[in-house]
Amino acid sequence: MLREFKDFVMRGNLLELAVAFILGVAFGRVVTSLVNDVIMPPIGLVLGGVDFSNLFINLSKAPYATLVEAQAAGAPTLNYGAFVLTVIDLLIVAFVVFMLVRAVNRIQRPKPAAPTTKDCPYCLSIIPLKATRCPQCTSELRAA
């Protein structure tokens, strides 16, 4: 049983999946940092100094100035600013994955195969490309 498990784990597909998962997690952290630290601060500045990570709706009766205060007090909140940041993360990751898949599809696009058959000009049956006589109507064909 241990040997079977080792064989299963050592299969190429599983190892490739593990590497892809690790790289995906790292890429996700880079994208999150890009959104939180590079993209959103200028957008917040243009919108009047808005900090998206601090946007929330307080569901309790006590007032809180920041999300950190509300969370420290255990107040229920709707963190729509964090949701906006997560949606932007998703859009960036989806766009990068789309571009990656598009590039791979262009590289792997199969070239059309050369034709191996032709139509008989007399009976229109399909015959091999190198044929000199049609097997259906027995007409002699000109050399291609």
DSSP 3-state of 25? helix
pLDDT in tens, the chain (144 residues): 888 877 777 776 777 788 889 988 998 899 888 888 888 888 888 888 888 888 899 999 899 998 999 999 999 999 999 898 889 888 888 898 899 889 888 888 777 888 889 999 889 999 998 888 898 898 888 765
Q: What is the CATH number of domain 2-109?
A: 1.10.1200.120
State the Cα angle at 112 between 108 and 115, rounded to 5°: 155
Give DSSP secondary structure letters for 30-74: HHHHIIIIIIHHHHHHHTTS--GGG--EE-SSS--SSHHHHHHTT
Residue position matching structure tokens 């696009």: 109
The residues spanned by each domain of the chain are 2-109, 114-144
Distance CA 133, CA 80 (A): 76
